[in-house]
Amino acid sequence: MRHKFINYKHSFFIIFAFLFSQSYFLSLAQSSSVQKKDSQFELLFENKTNNPPFKVEIIAKDLGIPWGMVFLNEKELLWTEKQGKVKKINLETKKISPISLSIKNLYYHGQGGLLDVALHPNFKQNQWVYFSYGLSVGKKQTTALGRAKLKGNKMTSFKTLFLAQDDYNSNRHFGSRMQFDDKGFLFITIGDRAKKKEAQNLSSHLGKLLRLDENGKAVKDNPFFNTKGAKPEIYSYGHRNPQGLFIHPETKEIYLQEHGPRGGDEINLIKKGRNYGWPVITHGRAYSGLKIGEGTHKKGMEQPIKYWVPSIAPSSLLIYSGKKFPNWLGNFFSSSLVLTHLNRLQIQNNKVIKEDRLLSNLDFRFRHVIEGPKGFLYLSVDQGMILKLSPL
């Protein structure tokens, strides 16, 4: 009798464990990370509680560090990998193709490497692709801009168009995010290379937002073009390490996002020729905890529309304009490296009215977020993947 009771009791626990596990895994699939095959890509995550509900799929994995992304057309997404590689994927066939590109003296170390990518405004006609990257110049390094022509799976006619001055022996703060405006001018961010005082020095490109023509030359109506001793390429200054840059699709206003030190990450509305304060003013502190500069405000220096304390390490910026997520129209999105999430900001009159932190449960270092031609969001992560975010 005792023997039969033990068997019954044992069976009861087996059935209970089975039912519990089924319930657990069902809830897991509905609200957190799951690994299963979707009809097109590998489904990573579903969130049915968010408004709007969405899913995240892996569209490419086992990559290097995908730093910059751009759509060649509705079907093909091209990206750079920090180690020096360029690849593209056909989103219909899911085929990934390497693109040959050779950059002599590419500096891949620390925060340097092959960084951002942008298409010429007339890319369909001329096939010009622009790259920013760390470059070794003797025993020093700098941020460089180059251009190549895409022919099939090859980059041809590569040429370095611009070198930031001054070059330093440092593997930090290359900046490097790029955007073309509607006039065909190229904006590119240059970090302070951890030489913070240079951000206030108009005779240096460091810690600046630059505006160049399609050949890498200064635009003649830049604010310091005729200022003696100033670099003519400078458009704004007083930046630390800006890795987010986006031009509003409707207002054409320029927004720049930069890494602070210990706290003090910023989003700034950029005005021609203005000083954004670093390192004289900041909402952050040195990594040692000591104060930097003179405080948080000073006459003649601009205030950010948003700052973070503690830092989230923002690495790209996007203003959503698509139709897939109508609730998110006009929202700002920032990829976060340190606090590992996709940051969503609702903005009214250049003031933040709501902040939402998405995908933090995935624990990825989000490097770049872009909007695809059909309104889906695409994210690259330092763990060597490219993700697609779409509505459920």
Quote the domain boundaries for residue 342.
59-391
Report the C-alpha gap between 43 and 227 in whole angstroms. 55
Torsion, Cα 185 187 315 242, to 10 degrees, reads -170
- pLDDT tens digits in sequence order for the chain, 392 residues long: 344 433 434 444 444 444 434 433 333 333 444 444 445 799 999 999 888 999 999 999 999 999 999 999 999 999 999 999 999 999 999 999 999 999 999 999 999 999 999 999 999 999 999 999 999 999 999 999 999 999 999 999 999 999 999 889 999 999 999 999 999 999 999 999 999 999 999 999 999 999 999 999 999 999 999 999 999 999 999 999 999 999 999 999 999 999 999 999 999 999 999 999 999 999 999 999 999 999 999 999 999 999 999 999 999 999 999 999 999 999 999 999 999 999 999 999 999 999 999 999 999 999 999 999 999 999 999 999 999 999 99
255: exposed, middle or buried (C-beta count within 10 Å: 0-12, 13-18, 19+)? buried
Cβ atoms < 10 Å from Cβ of 246? 22
Helices (H), ranges, the chain = 2-31, 123-126
Beta-carbon count within 10 A of 225 CB: 15
Residue 109 lies in a domain: yes
**Domains contained in the chain, number:** 1
Active-site residues, by number, are 173
Please check whether residue 337 is in contact with residue 343, taking contact to mean a CB–CB distance below 8 angstroms: no
**pLDDT (0 to 100) of residue 51:** 86
- Residue 192 inside a domain? The answer is yes
- Domain-located, residue 54: no
d(CA 97, CA 151) in angstroms, rounded, equals 13
Q: Is residue 30 part of a domain?
A: no
Supply the pTM of this predicted model: 0.90
Whether 22 maps to a domain, the answer reads: no
Is position 177 within any domain? yes
Give the bridge partners for 161, in sequence order: none
Contacts of 312 (CB under 8 A, 6+ apart): 265, 334, 336, 337, 338, 339, 341, 343
- Is there a domain that residue 252 lies in? yes
What residue has token string 């695409």?
A: 378
Supply the CATH number for residue 288's domain: 2.120.10.30
CA distance 363 to 45: 12
Residue 96 lies in a domain: yes
